[in-house]
């Protein structure tokens, strides 16, 4: 009995693909397990604040920016409406980009990186203003739909 190498390879690669898929799916589920948006575990504590300062290393500033962003996304007030929930989750995400750009401006002299960071700050702050305006404009509508659903 002769076994073709190509069929063994195909079978092994298929199994590997299934195993990788299951591992990644499990990791993704675990990463999201316990995240109750709008109700962070530390609701009693004030949210962290990002401060761009050379008193910390660049790596520490990036860690701080990520921690503030993650906390903001966990505290995002979700109401089950896709448009609203998208906006409330994107606000801290965009602010995280602003904070990271501010951090790199403290530590780089590279003109391309500085221009990129300045552009990110300007664009993300504009997006944040647009999202805040959308929330303000739609606040009455979501309040009415929330009340009628009760």
pLDDT at 2 over 90: no
Q: Express as a percent the part of the chain with pLDDT over 70.
A: 64
- Name the residue with higher pLDDT: 134 or 32: 134
Conformation bin of residue 47: beta by default, left when phi > 0, alpha when psi is -120 to 50: beta
Q: How far apart are CA 96 and CA 69, in angstroms?
A: 5
pLDDT on residue 84: 96
What whole-number percentage of the chain has pLDDT above 90? 61
- Domain edges within the chain: 1-29, 58-149
pLDDT classification of 27: cutoffs 50, 70, 90 = very low
Give the pLDDT score at 44. 73
């Amino acid at each position: 009995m002769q076994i073709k190498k190509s069929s063994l390879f195909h079978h092994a690669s298929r199994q590997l693909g299934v195993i990788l898929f299951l591992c990644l799916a499990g990791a993704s589920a675990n990463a999201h397990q316990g995240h109750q948006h709008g109700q962070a575990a530390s609701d009693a504590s004030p949210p962290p604040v990002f401060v761009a300062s050379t008193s910390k290393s660049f790596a520490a500033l990036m860690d701080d920016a990520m921690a503030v962003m993650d906390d903001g996304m966990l505290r995002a007030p979700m109401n089950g409406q896709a448009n609203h929930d998208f906006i409330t989750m994107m606000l801290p995400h965009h602010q995280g980009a602003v904070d990271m750009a501010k951090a790199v401006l403290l530590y780089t002299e590279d003109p391309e990186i500085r221009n990129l960071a300045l552009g990110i700050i300007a664009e993300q702050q504009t997006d944040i203003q647009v999202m805040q305006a959308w929330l303000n404009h739609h606040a009455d509508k979501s309040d009415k739909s929330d009340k009628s659903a009760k």
